[in-house]
Structure 1
Amino acid sequence: MGKSFNQKLKLLYIMQMLKENTDENHAMSANDIISALAKQGISAERKSIYDDIERLKLFGCDILSRRSEPKGYYLASRDFEIAELKLLVDAVQSSKFITEKKSNQLIHKIEQLASRHEAQTLQRQVVVSNRIKTMNESIFYNIDKLHSAISSDVKITFKYCSWTLAKKLEPKKDGANYTVSPYILIWDDENYYLIGFDDDSKEIRHYRVDKMLNITITAEKRDGGDQFSKFDIGNYSKRTFGMFAGDENTLEIEFDNNLIGVVMDRFGKDIILNSNTENTFVAKLNVNISSQFYGWLAGLGTGVKILSPQSEAEKYLKYIKDISSKYTHF
């Protein structure tokens, strides 16, 4: 690239070096900028640097000059504050659905949104190794494909899998395709799920995205619009434990008072609560009854008791007895 051509890029180079090298605690003087430009084959004088800085300010760049050390110009504001970038890095690190390789790639791109000095504070937070991460690299691109199908109002086909003892994904239904009208993607319990209208069952169902293989976008328009017009994703997530399906029922459950925070974290503030005794309260909850729900109750120990309906209390009692029967030989 010729020297004269580089000269035309002078303003862009100045903007780039301010973005990469400066922040509130690090500045570049006019001489620093002149030296950096010279390495790119661009000649400049102090007065032209002042003029260029003013042009960038008029363009909308928040460039300030500081008179105390370190003296010079710096980019005072960016699209993202450093605290916001740290939040994004932490979200990427903790996301189980993003592979370790893709996590490192994303974090590197996030670092480029900060100055090189601030990027070091992000790098110190990068502890991706040894975290439980998905082994399915394609999930990252599958999510984008699913969003495309949803926005295009068309059905998808895919193979839905489960893990085998050999640690491999094996297609269900003998490898036959699932045909689903996709509507919503949600992130629940560190996994991505697609909620859609299943062609075979004619029901709203959910599927873990990392277990979906060979996703194909079809030209066929979606079904299930009437069902989804009445669908409440908030209620669905609250009553479905670990995204395990089950029959919906309304339960009255007695909890110890010290568990009020646990109950509200799980079901929100709109649930019906009534004081029961000095030490307990009763909550009326709509839930999908599943082994995951029973496991959640069991985790609360003696601080919880199903009051009604009696049939559900008996099912939970059987669940506990079945577990204890595993240890009768002790």
Structure 2
Amino acid sequence: MSYTKTDMLSHKIIEILKEHSDEKHPLTQQQICGYLEEKLGIKPNRKTVAQHLKSIIGDESCNVFIADNDNDDDDKSDKKYITDIYYASDITAEEYEFLADSIIYSPMLPADYVRDLIKKINILSTGNTKSKEANLRETFHYGNKSIFLVIENIKEAMNTNRKLDVTISDYDKNGKLLTKSDPQSGIKLQRVMLSPYGIVMADGFYYLLASDVRYDDLRHFRIDKILKASICEEDGSMRDVKTLSNVPRDLKPVQYKNLNRYMLDGTVERVHINIKKKDISLVLDTFGNEFTCNKVIGNDDIYDVTFRANIQTAVRWAIANRKAVKLTSPKRAVDIVKEEISALSEMYGNQER
């Protein structure tokens, strides 16, 4: 007997192995019979199940195997009673966990979309890797259900070298993307004409890199806050990115994200810091590995580090890591740090304990 896709019992056995087994958690023949009874409502004949298992195991395309046993050198598939059977997934449980977590902890995706995506990738996994849907209830997600349509139109505009007519909104206190201006909350819809250049992800959100036709610099826009993006047919092709005032030569979207780690407004400049040697990974975590590092004369515990970054990003990062980092230049960034510290001191200094 050979396995075919029309063989319903073999098909059900493989489904059970996909759902309930992996290399670390194989099933016995008795367990498989139990699942068959539970799913089909009948008590299967163990001899028949054993015959089907031998055929399935003999077909390499089924990805079903018998777990190794160091104490047994015989050909296991020839045994009358087969045990320790598992389905070998295309990805490991750890790889599945990474994919599932990447989806679940992307707040820009509506919860319904996340749930559907998790179900789709579940077919890649086996065993105990399908409990991620429960985590969805513990995470917050925004509700822009047009996000994939917006992304589709953005990509189409880039591929055809066209501008985009974009309407940008914001969320209310309940996480709902407003479809019209709301004076009470202070949220106003903005309609802008953009030349799109790329898409990057930062902290679980997609950002559109584009230039507003009214200005000559490169900016970023959170895609999940875009209410509508229409491709312009009559306004000509998009602006050449090389003509923008704040774009280094051959800038790629991923480089823009590294320079603008928190996706804040502001210019990119060369930044100098002093940082404790033991904390140098803080620079790697936020700005990547494109920096120069020199010793500080007279202090073997400190590095003098130089890198390019958005000024507002550098300021926020330096304040957050003030116990390990001192921002030394440019002067404008140092002045902003001082102003922020002064404002914080004034805000919290008069509070009663």
1:21 match: 17
Q: Provide the rounded CA distance (Å) in 2 between the counterparts of 1:99 and 1:62.
A: 34
**1:207 deviation in Å?**
0.6
Verify: 1:235 aligned to 2:255, yes or no: yes
Amino acid across the alignment from 1:21: L
The secondary structure found in structure 2 opposite 1:133 is coil
Aligned partner of 1:143 among 151, 154, 160: 151
TM-score after normalising by structure 1: 0.76
Give runs of aligned pairs for residues 115-154 of structure 1, distance below 5 A: 115=126, 118=127, 120-123=128-131, 126-154=134-162
2:165 match: 157
The 1:52/1:250 distance shift into structure 2, 3 A limit, reads same
Q: Provide the rounded CA distance (Å) in 1 between the counterparts of 2:261 and 2:195.
A: 23
Aligned partner of 2:238 among 217, 223, 228: 223
Most deviating of 94-103 and 187-196? 94-103
Question: Structure 1 regions of 5+ residues with no counterpart?
Answer: 1-7, 40-44
The secondary structure found in structure 1 opposite 2:136 is coil
Aligned partner of 1:324 among 338, 341, 345: 345
Q: Provide the rounded CA distance (Å) in 1 between the counterparts of 2:195 and 2:12.
A: 45
Q: Provide the rounded CA distance (Å) in 2 between the counterparts of 1:207 and 1:16.
A: 48
Give runs of aligned pairs for residues 40-189 of structure 1, distance below 5 A: 53=56, 57=60, 60-64=61-65, 67=76, 71=82, 76-115=87-126, 118=127, 120-123=128-131, 126-163=134-171, 169=178, 175=189, 177-189=191-203
2:288 match: 268
TM-score after normalising by structure 2: 0.71
CA contact (8 A) 2:96 2:129 kept: no
- 1:184-231 deviations in whole A, cap 9, x for unaligned? 211102211111233222432211011100222344664234428722
Q: Provide the rounded CA distance (Å) in 1 between the counterparts of 2:170 and 2:314.
A: 21
2:44 match: none
Q: Provide the rounded CA distance (Å) in 2 between the counterparts of 1:47 and 1:14.
A: 10
Amino acid across the alignment from 2:275: F
Aligned partner of 2:306 among 277, 284, 294: 284
Please identify runs of 4+ aligned residues in structure 1 that moved more than 6 A: 45-48
Q: Provide the rounded CA distance (Å) in 2 between the counterparts of 1:259 and 1:160.
A: 39
- Identity percentage of aligned residues: 19
CA contact (8 A) 1:18 1:75 kept: no
Amino acid across the alignment from 2:92: E
- 1:106-159 deviations in whole A, cap 9, x for unaligned? 2222223334xx1x4421673111312223233244334433443444332221
Most deviating of 14-23 and 298-307? 14-23
Q: Provide the rounded CA distance (Å) in 2 between the counterparts of 1:12 and 1:209.
A: 46
Q: Provide the rounded CA distance (Å) in 2 between the counterparts of 1:13 and 1:152.
A: 51
Q: Provide the rounded CA distance (Å) in 2 between the counterparts of 1:223 and 1:13.
A: 58
Q: Provide the rounded CA distance (Å) in 2 between the counterparts of 1:278 and 1:50.
A: 67
Bigger helix share: 1
The secondary structure found in structure 1 opposite 2:280 is helix
Q: Provide the rounded CA distance (Å) in 1 between the counterparts of 2:56 and 2:10.
A: 8
1:4 match: none
The 1:56/1:216 distance shift into structure 2, 3 A limit, reads farther
2:227 match: 213
CA contact (8 A) 2:50 2:80 kept: no
Amino acid across the alignment from 2:314: F
Bigger strand share: 1
Verify: 1:295 aligned to 2:333, yes or no: no
CA contact (8 A) 1:99 1:136 kept: yes
Q: Provide the rounded CA distance (Å) in 2 between the counterparts of 1:175 and 1:78.
A: 47
